Structure formats: C-alpha cells, structure tokens
Structure 1
C-alpha cells in the first residue's frame, strides 16, 4: 500500500516539476509518448499522472500485490525515485544560476 501511495505522490511531484521545467524552458520532456500528450493538453498529462497510480491503488485493494508484480512495483518506485532526484538536480542548478 505504501508503495502505491509513493507512486501517486511521486507521479504528482514529477508532473508539477516537469510542467514547471518545460514552461520555464529549462528542460524538455524526455518521454516521447508523454511529449505527445503534453502537446495535446497539460490536462491530459495530469490526468495520466494521477489516474495510473490511483488505478494501481484500486487494484491493490482488490488483490494485494505479491510475487513478481510486487517486484515490478518496487522497481517502478526505484525508477520514480531516480527521476525525482534528477528533477531535484536541475531545480537546484536552476535556482543556483538565477541567484
């Protein structure tokens, strides 16, 4: 359950930081699929970032995640954590360059 909640939080934080970075011109979206979604609408981007972890939370309530599915969930959390660390690095670099 905590992993699912982490994914929801990480997805929201990733979405907000990505939005800030792209609108400010600091970064570009690296994921070609999400780039297409962003070009369509920021609303779609946020819906996807919120809906997928919520879907996972719903599935967790229906059937606890075990075995290889849990391994995939942990791997996804580690990947998201690395993405958030990457975001923090460019945010820190951005604020250091503007001061």
Structure 2
C-alpha cells in the first residue's frame, strides 16, 4: 500500500515539476507519449499522472501485490525516485542560472 501511495505522490510531484520546467522553458518532456498528451492538454497530463496510481491503489485494495508484481512496483518506485532526483538537479541548475 505504501508503494502505491508513493507512486501517487511521486506522480503528482512529477507532474507539477514537469509543468513548471516546461512552462519556464528550462526542460522538455522526455517521454514522447506524454509529450503528445501535453500537446493536447495539461489537464489530460495531470489526469493520467493521478488516475493511474489511483487505479493501482484500487487493485492493491482488492488483492495485495505479491511476487513479481511487487518487484515491478518496487522497480517503478525506484525509477520514479530517480526522475524526482533528476527534477531536483535541473531545479538547482535553474535557480543557479537565474541568479
């Protein structure tokens, strides 16, 4: 359950930071599929970033994850953590170049 909640938190934080980075012109979306979604509407982007982890939470509630499914969830959390670290790096670079 905690892993699913982390993915929800990380997804929302990633969406907010991505929106800030793209709006400020400091970064570009690296995922081609999400770039298409962003080109359509930021609302769709936020919906995807929020709804997918909520679906995962619902599935976990119905049947807790075990075995290889749990390994995939942990791997996803590690990847999301690395994305958030990447966001922190460009935010520091953005702040340093702005001053």
Q: Confirm or deny a common fold (TM above 0.5).
A: yes
Q: Which stretches in structure 2 are left out of the alignment for 5+ residues?
A: none
* TM-score normalized with structure 1 length: 0.99
Structure 2 residue 32 is the aligned partner of structure 1 residue 35: no
**Residue aligning to 1:63:** 63
Deviations 1:35-94, CA, capped at 9 Å, x for gaps: 000000000000000000000000000000000000000000000000000000000110
* TM-score normalized with structure 2 length: 0.99
**Residue aligning to 1:81:** 81
State how many pairs are aligned. 99
Alpha-carbon distance between aligned partners in 2 of 1:96 and 1:5, rounded to the nearest angstrom: 32
Q: Which stretches in structure 1 are left out of the alignment for 5+ residues?
A: none
Give 4+ residue runs of structure 1 displaced > 6 Å after superposition.
none
